[in-house]
Chain A
Amino acid sequence: MSGEYTNSLKANRYIQKGLFDRFRASPAGNVILVFLLVLLTCSIVSLIYPDNFRFLSKPNLIILQRAIPTLGIMSIGVGILMITGEFDLSVGAVFGLSAYIMAMVYSAGMPILVGVIAALLVGIIFGLINGWITTSFGIPSFITTLGTLFIIRSGGRLVSDNVPIIFQVPDWFKTLMTGRMLGYIQMQFVWFIIIAIIAWIILNRHTIGNHFISVGGNQMSSTQVGINVKKTKILAFVLCSICAVIAGIMSVIRVGVVNTDAKPLMELECVAACVMGGVALTGGRGSIVGVAVGAIMFHLVKDIIILGKLPAYYLELFIGLVIVFGVTLNQIAKKKY
């Protein structure tokens, strides 16, 4: 009886909570609040000390817009997969290899779109492999993708022979992917927003999004209500890889140089952005807005470290703190609100 009474109290407490409490309890609630606070603080400091802290300067805002999309787009894919209850540690390797394949195909004289399709195929194939192995043999995705991370990295070195490709894509493609709009707005950032909106629609307004959350939240019950868990998870792996491919292509087009070893530890930065954005490591909980803001926050902190002329290892310290305390704070918020 006391259990029922406690449950009843719990229900009433939740039902009576206000809008602000419900916002804080939502997956993206805390990170949005922290983000707004940091943004406001940086803007004020930049206005007071425009020469010492050039946060609001045009070059800095352009740099941020160029830097955020790579991590942001990858994190959206990783976030969807984490919501489905799985991890992909091979995204960084797929990011590097797929961009290299695109450049290789294009440098061989094929049209750029063929190169893009080839890169996407590489991503889809590795997404399928990761998903199939994980779901068919019941291997934790952490292990499966740790293995494919090394396989793809070493395979990439084999293909590239550690020699980078220098290339220049057609102007129309470069402008489309990395050009500018209205002077300030970088196309990478526009694509990031577009992909975030598409991902939000998939997760919140499409049947498959409902299945992603359901499978991540309770695999057994999802099976019982007739959701194809295996198919759902494989699709999440594929979407994750596709996001890594898009991020990879976008990141190399502007500079025109690619090698397969691009940006080590990116997979962990993605996980950190997702955790910061309120995605549960256990699956079934998270939001695209949270992931996007998490990725922006990540670069915001990086920017502060650079503008403040702080040592680079502060960023690693920040990532570590985010992973440990981010999860803890989200758990506390979930219980409290």
Chain B
Amino acid sequence: MKNLKSKNPLLSVKGIAKSYGHVRALQNIDIDIHSGEVLGLLGDNGAGKSTLIKILSGIIRPDKGQIFRKGKEINILSRKDSEEKAGIQTIYQDIALVKSMSILRNIFAGQERKTKLGFLKLNEMRDTTMQILNDHVKIAGITSPDLLIEELSGGQAQAVAIARAVHFQRDILLLDEPTSALSVRETNKVHSIMREIADAGNSCVFVTHNLYHAFQVCDRFVVFSHGEVVKSSTKENTSLDELTDLILAN
């Protein structure tokens, strides 16, 4: 783990639980997220990883538990709370993009640059979009911010989603299966972006099924199974084989 990691966590979740009817999606989850680290959330389908991400993103509310931001308790009741109170920016598993809209409009959807009367500052948004695409995620083949998402390949679309999240990053970037549709080159690019974000003193939470990807980029791992944390370990204290065995065993 990088030396940038602080003793006091940037974000802590304590005793978080969530059920859907009789199904317990999460039970008594305690996790700390530190500055300067890439934290891997691992586990099989239905282990509870995405439920935790949704809670931290303000999409759903936990049944019980507390969330602390730098030691101070906060309530995340909405997406806005997640961004402004918890300093979280999320990239979702299902690529939160609208296919029939342009890259430009997608990047600023819900966070438009606008005048006092609500009119879009399109030129400013266009310049910023090109800057985002060039500086944060260099995506091959994208020549104009006015291209529609449906005109892009899956990998390009995913990269746009990442570029958006990186641009609007707060302290913590949540990435829910961000590389699932990317080519090897694009995946490596995303990993290096995560590393850069962490090295700059922020943190990334990387949710993935791909243990090889996780082991390549993460500093610490939290393994979920049936809604519970079954292991939490730094990279130095575990191995790819151990993590694989743990997930398969559960």
The residues of A that contact B92 with a CB separation of less than 8 Å are 221, 224
Asked if residues B141 and A221 are in contact (CB atoms below 8 Å), the reply is no
Please report which residues of chain B, range 126-155, place their CB below 8 angstroms from some CB of chain A when the two chains form the complex: 141-143, 147, 150-155
Interface membership of A226, Cβ < 8 A: yes
Asked if residues B183 and A11 are in contact (CB atoms below 8 Å), the reply is no
Asked if residues A15 and B151 are in contact (CB atoms below 8 Å), the reply is yes
Q: Which of A11, A14, A221 contacts B98 (CB 8 A)?
A: A221
The residues of A that contact B153 with a CB separation of less than 8 Å are 4, 7-8, 10-11
Asked if residues A225 and B141 are in contact (CB atoms below 8 Å), the reply is no
Interface membership of B112, Cβ < 8 A: yes
- Whole-angstrom CA separation of A225 from B98 in the bound complex: 11
Known: A206-B118, A225-B109. A4 touches B155 (CB 8 A): yes
Known: A11-B153, A224-B92. A206 touches B120 (CB 8 A): yes
Interface membership of A263, Cβ < 8 A: no
B binding-site residues for A, Cβ under 8 Å? 57, 59, 78-80, 83, 90, 92, 94-101, 105, 108-112, 114, 118-120, 122, 141-143, 147, 150-156, 181, 183
The residues of A that contact B95 with a CB separation of less than 8 Å are 221
The residues of A that contact B100 with a CB separation of less than 8 Å are 213, 216-217, 280, 284-285
Known: A7-B154, A207-B114, A226-B110. A221 touches B120 (CB 8 A): no
The residues of B that contact A280 with a CB separation of less than 8 Å are 100
Please report which residues of chain A, range 206-245, place their CB below 8 angstroms from some CB of chain B when the two chains form the complex: 206-208, 210-211, 213-214, 216-218, 220-227
The residues of A that contact B111 with a CB separation of less than 8 Å are 225-226
Asked if residues A208 and B98 are in contact (CB atoms below 8 Å), the reply is no
The residues of B that contact A136 with a CB separation of less than 8 Å are none
Known: A205-B119, A205-B120. A15 touches B143 (CB 8 A): yes
How many chain A residues have a CB neighbour from B under 8 Å? 32
Please report which residues of chain A, range 56-88, place their CB below 8 angstroms from some CB of chain B when the two chains form the complex: none
User: Count the A-B residue pairs with Cβ separation under 8 angstroms: how many?
Assistant: 107
Known: A223-B59, A227-B110. A217 touches B79 (CB 8 A): no
The residues of B that contact A52 with a CB separation of less than 8 Å are none
The residues of B that contact A211 with a CB separation of less than 8 Å are 109-110
The residues of A that contact B78 with a CB separation of less than 8 Å are 226
Asked if residues A213 and B101 are in contact (CB atoms below 8 Å), the reply is yes
A32 CB → nearest B CB, Å: 18
The residues of A that contact B181 with a CB separation of less than 8 Å are 7
Q: Which of A11, A12, A208, A217 contacts B118 (CB 8 A)?
A: A208
A binding-site residues for B, Cβ under 8 Å? 3-4, 7-8, 10-12, 14-15, 205-208, 210-211, 213-214, 216-218, 220-227, 280, 284-285, 334
A171 CB → nearest B CB, Å: 35
Asked if residues A11 and B79 are in contact (CB atoms below 8 Å), the reply is no
Chain A residue with the shortest CB-CB distance to B92: A224
Q: Which of B98, B114, B156 contacts A217 (CB 8 A)?
A: B98
The residues of B that contact A213 with a CB separation of less than 8 Å are 98, 100-101, 105
Q: Most chain-A CB neighbours within 10 Å: which of B80, B90, B183?
A: B183
The residues of A that contact B112 with a CB separation of less than 8 Å are 207, 210
Chain A residue with the shortest CB-CB distance to B168: A225
What are the 6 closest A-B residue pairs judged by CB atoms, nearest first? A7-B153, A225-B110, A217-B98, A221-B96, A14-B151, A11-B153
- Whole-angstrom CA separation of A205 from B114 in the bound complex: 10
- Whole-angstrom CA separation of A43 from B109 in the bound complex: 44
Q: Which of A11, A221, A226, A284 contacts B94 (CB 8 A)?
A: A221
- Whole-angstrom CA separation of A213 from B118 in the bound complex: 16
Chain B residue with the shortest CB-CB distance to A228: B110
Given contacts A213-B100, A284-B99, 10 further A-B contacts (CB under 8 A): A8-B155, A11-B141, A15-B151, A207-B112, A211-B109, A211-B110, A214-B110, A222-B109, A225-B110, A226-B110
- Whole-angstrom CA separation of A15 from B156 in the bound complex: 12
